[in-house]
Structure formats: structure tokens, C-alpha cells
Structure 1
Amino acid sequence: MSSMSRTVPPTADVVIVGGGVMGTSIAYHLAEAGVHHIVVIERGELGSGSSGKPIGGVRAQFSDPLNIELGSRSLRAWQDFGQRPGADIRLDSVGYLFALTSDQQAADFEIAVRIQNSLGVPSRMIGPREAHQLCPYLSTDGLVAAAYSPTDGHARPGLAVQGYARAAARAGVAFATHTTVTGLDTTGDRITAVHTDHGRISCSTVICAAGAWSERLGAMAGVHLPVRPVRRQLAFTAPLAPPAPRIPFTIDFASTAYFHNSDDGLLFGLADPDQADGFDTTWTPDWLTLFRAAVQRRAPALADMETTSGWAGLYEVTPDHNALIGRAGTSHNFLYATGFSGHGFLQAPAVGEIMRDIHLERTPFIDVTPFCADRFTTGVPTRPEIHVV
């Protein structure tokens, strides 16, 4: 893209920190609305943070109305991505399938499905036999029920980042890659400039979309963004012969082990409950021991499949596993969209719209006040999300 460089302009109206799917979505939506002089600052290449690790799930199966609405609106945007902004993200609408192994899990998901249905999401509870038909790898032994929504699926986050970035660049957005924010200037309750290792930018608004690095940026602005980085790992199987059947994005809810189709094999993942916080993104294949132990019970055929490569990336986790979205009360021109706890890619289109509207002081399509960053000190209630993948 011709507007991508390590050179930062001396002035901007809006500086977005973070060049992942969230930052590029925000840039695209702002530019589409006619906002000019936007600069996106990225410490590496675009999409080199959490967005570059291809789990790629997109869904509206959540347990509370706000996350359901964010997921549902984003699903529609992902489905239309080929026309707006115009890119192939390899969306595969195979559905999401949560395998449930206790009566309590089934009861919780039944409540969630009723809420989803009331908001137009076509999810439903199904029995073990139908779950096995949808995903032949699933064992019905010990399977109580499953939750399934046919319009969910998965896509390629890297392609989405590039699609948003190219469209934003065509609209005049500048991208400063391999550029690190080193400080902020403030006057009263406003940020007046962003300092980087490639120069200073005077600006009117700063938007934090820095993912796992957001707490550091917030501290520069005097805003507490309680985001901690947690490593998550995944692996790819060797090519399968015969080819794997086309299956939903399947999750064993009890263990968090998940898998879905990927090119000529399968993608495997699992959230290690003992993973320490930190920015380490070294891929350590020994975590597969946990995955294989989990699928030995739930999808035995996967336990012996050969894996050839993998990734490690960072989740940006908040105390209640819900996002931080809003405008800071202490620095009025500091906005933030971060802490998505693994849901950032799937919610990025809707959040791009919301951040556009917050910046333009318009009413967003949904009230995101429950996701304000100061909820942990002021007591604004949110409902902890039960889906952790």
C-alpha cells in the first residue's frame, strides 16, 4: 500500500494505535464516514499481533445480549466483506458446535440459546446423535447435548486485516508500521500529541486498539485498561487422506479443546488453564499433550493425528472476559477498543462502527456503556461471558 511507511506525519486528526483487525476496522469505518487525516501506528507489520494467528472463528453464540448483538452484526458484515470493503477473507459458514458433557452445561446453553433466538440468531440445542452427524469426529459417549448455529463459521484474520487496510488506504488513511508509541503529551484533560520512535504527531484524538499492549498505552494517558496478555497456542495437522469432512468449528466446552477444517487438514487448539500471563509467543508443541488428552475422550480419532506446525499468539484478557469499549472519562479524547478476550476478530466489524460513532458523537447501534473501562472501579454491572474460546 502506497500510504504505508515508517514515516509519521507531524499532525493528524485521529491517531489509532494498533494495526490489527480492530485498528484497521476502526480506520476503515472512520474514513468511510468522511473523517480525514487518520494515522494508524503499528509496532510491527499490520496484523502481526493477535490478528495474525489464524483461529478465525466468527459467531453470534454468546450468553449475553450485548456480545450476541456484536457478533450477529459482525457476522453480517463478514458475509458482505467481498462487496464492502471488498476482499476475499475465505469465510466458511460451517457453523459452530459446542459439545456439552454435563446437565449444568446444557442448562446454561439452553438459556443462552433462548436469548440468541430472541435476537434473531438461528442457534438451537441438539442431541448427541445429530452432533455426531454434523461432526463425525465427535464421540457420543458422555455427550449430553450440543449447541449449534449454522450461520457461524471461520475466516482468515490476515486477509481481513489486509482488506480493511487497503480500503482505508484508498480513502487516505496513513499507516506507520514498525513504529512504537513512546509517550503522550497531555494538556488538561486532553491528549495533544503522540510520541513515537519515528517522530511526534500532534493530534486531536487517540484511539487505543493495541490489544495485549493496551494497558501500557492507557497508563501513558492516565487511563486504567485492565488487560493482561495470555499465550494461546494452536497446531495444524499433516494433510489428511482421505480429506477431512467439512465440519463445524467444534468445541469441547469442558476442556476448551477445539478444531476445524484448515486447507488440507485440521486446525487444533486449546486454552491451557495453567498458562502464565506474559508476552511470550514461543510455540511449544508440548501443549498438545493437553489437547490430545481432551480429544481422546471427545474426538478420539484426532488424538493420534500427526501435526506439522503451529502458532502461539496472545489473548488480551480482562477480569470479566468482556471487552473494553468507550471514551475515557479522564482524557476525553482518548478512546479505546481492546480486551476482547479472544473475541476481537469476530466482533471487529461491529466495533469499528461503534468507535466511528463514539468519535463522531453519534449514537451507536447498541449501548456499550457496560463495557466501559472504569466498570471495575465504579461497579457498572456486566455479565461474565461463559464462552471462553
Structure 2
Amino acid sequence: MTRSIPTEATVVIIGGGVIGASIAFHLAQSGVEGVVLLERDELACGSTCKAAGGVRASFSNAANIEIGLRGLEIYSQFGQLYGQEIDFHRDGYLYLLSDPTDVEVFTESVALQNAHGVPSRMVDPEEAKRISPLIETGGMLAACWSPGDGKATPESVVMGYAAAARRHGATIIRNCAVIDIASTNGTITEVITEHGRITTHQVVCAAGAWSREIGDMLGVHIPVTPMRRQIAFTEPLAELPDHSPSLTIDFPSNFYFHPEGKGLLLGWSDPDETEGFNLRFELEDWLLGLGEIAAIRAPAILDYGISTGWAGLYEITPDRNQILDRSNDIDGLLIATGYSGHGFLMGPASGEIIRDLYHGITPRYDITDFRLDRFSDVALAAGETNIV
């Protein structure tokens, strides 16, 4: 069935996850008329709905710390701001460290975080176990505890931003895939969708793992690689601890868990995963790998079965940092993608940054390290993608 879509727009946002919804709200709120958001499926149905919901400021890069702090600030009052409850809890992040180099790096990062107002600190293994009772400390050297970090419900955040964007006049169109983007002499002229054409001179690519395809439509290389990540949920735990961090992460292995209902959410980044749009939830091999780590770091978890799970996509850039920029090659193209697993927590600041770039205003955050041209041949030759 062909649906009715606007024939023209001031700006078209491609992608209906947390990034796209936040951008739609911030643009519309700032007075931009004719904001149109296009989502190929349902809102929050891509990577956002598969996210673990973590929100943190415990980064090793000053700009990411500030962006994370903004996420924590906004999500802590999201219900009052947007009339949408998002189940935000600030129960902290705990990073388990068993490599001397990692201990050194985290110690330096904690100093940087403290300088920006983040109350993180290094703790010994015994205190780490008091904070996260399910862990075992064998082989651990130290841990990093960031009590101000937290988690929320990603889908609820998207719905809150989308509703607020509509109240400010934005149009949100679901089940409408972008087929192509036309340009003339380096200037965008229209967005071509499966339901018709929209005349516009401004496009925001917030398409997550699908961003490379959007860039290709305009001849702009957006170096985002899709990579499957799986999450599983345990059956209820008979002795679930009274308290547990928003996320406990075994840093060397990327195994993590947090309470979810009466059980646990379990995650692990399989180092043998290959790139691509594989969204099959394939538990057996993945669970074997996770089980080897859990047997050492949190063996009590192995006593419980898996009730369900899912697979989602990370949108990974070569340096694992996001792209927030205005294209130098195509007039009218703004890019907000490549968050490499951090998109949910960066949603609030990303909306503000793209709003400011749209209006020609210097953002309040230093986004120098997040420009697209850091991946150019010249930048790569100079080693300019070493962002930590």
C-alpha cells in the first residue's frame, strides 16, 4: 500500500533510533519547520531496541566524558522533560581488571574523569566483590568503580523524543525505506523513498549500521561496519543480590551482566564474530564462549538456564568512535553515526550537536576528534585515528 508522504521538507533525518529521534526533536524545538524523520521499519527497531541500556561518563576521552555526562543529566530527568518514564537507575559501572596495563590506563582515565566531575575511583578486588557480589576475584588486580553511571530503557527514550518532536511540528514516517538520494553539482536535491520523493536540500544520516549505504547514495564514504552482538537473559535467580551495578564488565573479555527483572542480562563480544548484517540469535557457540569466561569471573551464573535472547548490530568505525560532522563533499549532508555501542547514552548530546551544526553554531562539545575526514587517506597516513 502506498502511503502519503510530504513532497518537500526543510531537512530529512534518516533513521528512527535514539539518535534520529533526538535530532528530530532538537531541530524542531529550535524552530526548524519541515523536519521529516524517515524510518524503514518501526521506531527503535534497529540497534536501539537491542541495546543493554547503559548510560555512562566513564570514558578515557574528554569529549566523550562530557557527552556521557549530558546523557546522564538528561536521562535522570527525562520523565519531567518529555513526559515519558524511562526506568532510569544510577547503580554504577564496575570494570574488572586483570592486566597491569589496563590498570595503568584506567588509573589515568579515572584522573581525567575526576577532573570533569565524574566520581569514579579505583578499588581493590575485595571491594569490587562487595559492590558486585556475583563475581569471583581470582586473577583480578583491581577494578574501576563509577557509581554515577546507570541504565535506562532505550525504546522508551525513543518514544519520548519522537512524541516531543511531533509536538514541535516534526513529521515522523515509519515503514518508509530510503532508496536513493539525488544531488546536483554537489548539493542534495531530493530523497527518494519507496513511497515517493521528498524535495530537500538537507539530510541527516542517523542510520546506524546502515549508514554506509546512505553515504554511498551520495558518493560519500562513511566507514561504518555492521557487527553482530548477542544478549541473553537468564531464568530467575533464586539468590539475586540485593544490590548490583547497572553493569559489571570483565574488561579483558568484554563479558558483562546486570540485573534484569528477577534474572540477569548477559552480554559478550565474541572476538570471532564476522562483519555483516547477521541478526540470527545463535546461542550455542556464543554461550560456550561466554561460559568459559563466566566460569572464572561469575560462576554462579552458570547454575541458571537461559530464558531468551536476541542479536543486534553495532555500527563500528575504525577507531571505535562516533562520526558527528557536516560533510565537506556534499552540501547539506550531516552525519551522526558510528557510535560503536555507545549510541544510546550519546543520544541527548548528539541531538544538540547536530542542531548546532545545522544552524552554523559551534557545539558546546569539542567534536574535533569525531569529524569524518579523520578517516581520509591523509589522516590515516598521519595516524590521526588513535582516539582513546
TM-score of the two chains, using structure 1 as the length reference: 0.96
2:264 corresponds to: 266
Q: Is the 8 A contact 1:50 1:315 kept in 2?
A: yes
1:158 aligns with 2:161: no
Distance change in 2, residues 1:243/1:7 (3 Å) = farther
Q: State the AA in 2 paired with 1:355.
A: I
Deviations 1:11-63 (A, max 9, x none): 00010000000000101111111111111110110001000114111001111
Q: State the AA in 2 paired with 1:232.
A: R
Q: How many residues align?
A: 381
Runs of at least 5 residues in structure 2 that lack an aligned partner in the other structure:
none
Mean alpha-carbon deviation: is it higher for 156-165 or for 369-378? 369-378
What's the % identity of the aligned pairs? Answer: 47
Q: State the AA in 2 paired with 1:230.
A: M
1:359 corresponds to: 358
Task: Give 1:372 deviation, angstroms.
Answer: 1.1
Distance change in 2, residues 1:266/1:195 (3 Å) = same
Task: Give 1:187 deviation, angstroms.
Answer: 1.6
Mean alpha-carbon deviation: is it higher for 72-81 or for 374-383? 374-383
Q: Which of 129, 148, 153 is equivalent to 2:126?
A: 129
Q: State the AA in 2 paired with 1:19.
A: G
1 CA distance for matches of 2:336 and 2:357?
Answer: 11
Q: Residues 39-54 of structure 1: matches in 2 within 5 Å?
A: 39-54=36-51
Q: Is the 8 A contact 2:375 2:385 kept in 1?
A: no
Q: Is the 8 A contact 2:228 2:313 kept in 1?
A: yes
1:168 corresponds to: 165
2:7 corresponds to: 10
1:196 aligns with 2:193: yes
Structure 2 counterpart SS, 1:82: helix
2 CA distance for matches of 1:26 and 1:260?
Answer: 29
Runs of at least 5 residues in structure 1 that lack an aligned partner in the other structure:
none
Structure 1 counterpart SS, 2:236: coil
Task: Give 1:240 deviation, angstroms.
Answer: 2.0
Task: Give 1:246 deviation, angstroms.
Answer: 2.5
Mean alpha-carbon deviation: is it higher for 226-235 or for 293-302? 293-302
1 CA distance for matches of 2:82 and 2:325?
Answer: 24
1:316 corresponds to: 315
Q: Which of 262, 278, 297 is equivalent to 2:276?
A: 278
Q: Is the 8 A contact 1:89 1:156 kept in 2?
A: yes
Distance change in 2, residues 1:6/1:17 (3 Å) = farther
Q: Which of 224, 229, 232 is equivalent to 1:227?
A: 224
Q: Is the 8 A contact 2:18 2:44 kept in 1?
A: yes
2 CA distance for matches of 1:212 and 1:374?
Answer: 19
Task: Give 1:153 deviation, angstroms.
Answer: 1.2
1 CA distance for matches of 2:140 and 2:369?
Answer: 35
Structure 2 counterpart SS, 1:308: strand
1 CA distance for matches of 2:367 and 2:351?
Answer: 13
Structure 1 counterpart SS, 2:197: strand
Q: Which of 106, 109, 128 is equivalent to 2:106?
A: 109
Q: Is the 8 A contact 1:97 1:147 kept in 2?
A: yes
Distance change in 2, residues 1:6/1:141 (3 Å) = farther
Q: State the AA in 1 paired with 2:102.
A: Q
1:207 corresponds to: 204
Mean alpha-carbon deviation: is it higher for 165-174 or for 253-262? 165-174
